[in-house]
Structure 1
């Protein structure tokens, strides 16, 4: 059985806050920096580009870690675990926003749906990954936690090793909306594979923390192990893969070694985790915790401001690839501060803002339920009333 365990890990909030801030500046610089300054021979730009590449692996790994940690902490298992229903609702919400952010109102007004609406991006991948984790949990939770732990680890390794196989697939036999989850040939920015692999590794790490997190020297050993594993993955995973090819003759080891971005980035994530664990006593600020807990809202707001979303009137519409490094540096700082402040301020006065908005719109209590995301509760009430009516008729 899976039992309740240790308390909140504040360093995970700090990593999530770090990842969302890296995402904000990364998108801002990538969208607005002038082409003339994108010089791969420039040391500063090369360093920035390398660290920008760590953002997505970190985000997906954290997603798996946090969700699994909260899921397995519960005393109950299976469908009785409250985190299952919460996770499903969260996943559906994230997928919904992933599509909604790419909707063009201009296309709708002309009676069509923009092609980019069907592209799969980071939110759809995260939401689908959560649903897959929940499915794995529901299948294996009745056995024991070790089965779940080993399954996600094997899945993660397998997904990374098979990247050359599925990476070139077009999947024309599938409906394009479904195929977009597995291939970027149609325009998808992120695909479920290989990114679900990072979610699996994060999930595996969470099981380790849950099992051994209360041991006195756990964090000391974890820091050393994570950093050592990170070094091995970054600098030695390619030679090891080539060695595997030499001994077994399996071509896929060689293919992965020649394009070994997945294991190397996983190594970056491991080292990043170790650094944040070292500073875990210094990253307990409420602001950091709040930023780490509002990553979805920050992502949504940044998408509107930078890309324009529904109307296409974002910063990239007016300054696309046109700013100098100094302008980008100052702009990125202001962008990060503005987005984070706006989101945190909204949640600070959320109830008052909602009440005023409902008042202006003249919404009734039932309509407020729908707008605030309680449609499931409302549907349940309707079903109960329907049952009562049927019973009375009998």
Structure 2
């Protein structure tokens, strides 16, 4: 995320030839957001389902989840406020971006969806996880097709703040289709939870990949059936999303194999535990969120390829050092967990 955002914000693409390396970088950068959503759903649901036996009102993990949802929404909208535009705000003009539905709000909405599924269907109605998550995922992908082919904003007469979460003038990461990646991550989290106590770790990919391959194939078949039944549209994006989900699953399983190596690298573990803090700080430093002044104020799309690469490495190093220093501090000055 850090290198992708830095390079895309500062690189002058006219100074870079369209080489295979640059092409692959642009392709891989497109996987960053889906991976972010999938891992968020995986970790959240893995931990939440561990508390399934607890009564709802005694479930601390559930309470932490609701607090995280609230924090994500507040932080997301706060980062879109900009003191450089204060005169516009005072004149009653909020600007085009302040009500945008961006990545933090979208993840918050996705986590809220997982909480509702957990409380209503798993806890109260006792629906098995292997039914509710796949079924909800297929429905979500199908509804994403409905939303994308519907003319105008949705809901039609709702405030822009609400419209942007589904289909509005500034829907950057709308819940349709982005919550589908979070739902898939939730399915993975539930599957990991079932397998990790029943199957030797080395066998997990051998068991998991065929299961997921069959599941995603059947999901695609079901989506095609629904499309043929309704005549709604070609479901190109939805099938692309399923392909991305499977590819990223392979990446996640590969990282699990590197767990012992990663676990020995304290800095990587600290960064992994502070992703929200790092996201907020990188928005301030790179994009000038809230303050109106950031790196792009001076270097927006002006760097050559090598300059952008070196800058990205320094950018990553800065946050790595900052994370370690905060961890060693007796009183961490900023920690959003």
Whether TM exceeds 0.5 here: the answer is: yes
Match of 2:163 among 155, 176, 179: 179
Query: 1:154: Cα distance to partner?
Result: 1.2
Q: For structure 2, list consecutive stretches of 5 or more residues without a partner in the other structure.
A: none
Match of 2:198 among 198, 208, 215: 215
Alignment pair present for 1:304 and 2:284: yes
1:80 match: 58
The C-alpha deviation readout for 1:107-150, integer Å capped at 9, x for no partner, is: 23451433311001100011111122112211124357653442
Q: 2:143·2:176 contact (CA, 8 Å) conserved in 1?
A: no
Query: 1:309: Cα distance to partner?
Result: 0.6
Alignment pair present for 1:54 and 2:41: no
Query: 1:261: Cα distance to partner?
Result: 2.8
**Cα–Cα, structure 1 residues 151 and 330, in superposed 2: closer, same or farther, change >3 Å?**
same
Q: 1:226·1:270 contact (CA, 8 Å) conserved in 2?
A: no
Q: In terms of mean alpha carbon deviation, does 299-308 or 139-148 score higher? A: 139-148
TM-score using structure 2 length: 0.87
The C-alpha deviation readout for 1:333-357, integer Å capped at 9, x for no partner, is: 0001102221332243151758xxx
The C-alpha deviation readout for 1:78-126, integer Å capped at 9, x for no partner, is: 2321111111111101111001111011323451433311001100011
Q: 1-side partners of 2:326 and 2:315: how far apart?
A: 17
Query: 1:325: Cα distance to partner?
Result: 0.6
Match of 1:95 among 73, 98, 108: 73
Q: For structure 1, list consecutive stretches of 5 or more residues without a partner in the other structure.
A: 1-22, 355-371, 374-394
TM-score using structure 1 length: 0.75
Q: 2:38·2:186 contact (CA, 8 Å) conserved in 1?
A: yes
Match of 1:125 among 106, 110, 114: 106
Q: In terms of mean alpha carbon deviation, does 270-279 or 110-119 score higher? A: 110-119
**Cα–Cα, structure 1 residues 78 and 195, in superposed 2: closer, same or farther, change >3 Å?**
same
Counterparts of 1:1-394 in structure 2, within 5 Å, are 23-37=1-15, 41-74=18-51, 75-110=53-88, 111=90, 112=92, 113-143=94-124, 147-169=128-150, 170-171=153-154, 172-183=156-167, 185-217=168-200, 219-227=201-209, 244=224, 248=228, 251-252=231-232, 255-257=234-236, 260-285=239-264, 286-349=266-329, 351=331
Query: 1:243: Cα distance to partner?
Result: 10
**Cα–Cα, structure 1 residues 145 and 223, in superposed 2: closer, same or farther, change >3 Å?**
farther
Q: 1:298·1:340 contact (CA, 8 Å) conserved in 2?
A: no
The C-alpha deviation readout for 1:185-212, integer Å capped at 9, x for no partner, is: 4123211111111111111111122223
The C-alpha deviation readout for 1:245-276, integer Å capped at 9, x for no partner, is: 69956545x61137743112112211111211
Q: 2:166·2:175 contact (CA, 8 Å) conserved in 1?
A: yes
Q: Describe the SS at the equivalent of 2:290.
A: coil
Query: 1:228: Cα distance to partner?
Result: 5.1
Structure with max Cα Rg: 1
Provide the aligned C-alpha RMSD in A. Answer: 3.0
**Cα–Cα, structure 1 residues 213 and 233, in superposed 2: closer, same or farther, change >3 Å?**
closer
**Cα–Cα, structure 1 residues 232 and 28, in superposed 2: closer, same or farther, change >3 Å?**
farther
Q: Describe the SS at the equivalent of 2:234.
A: helix
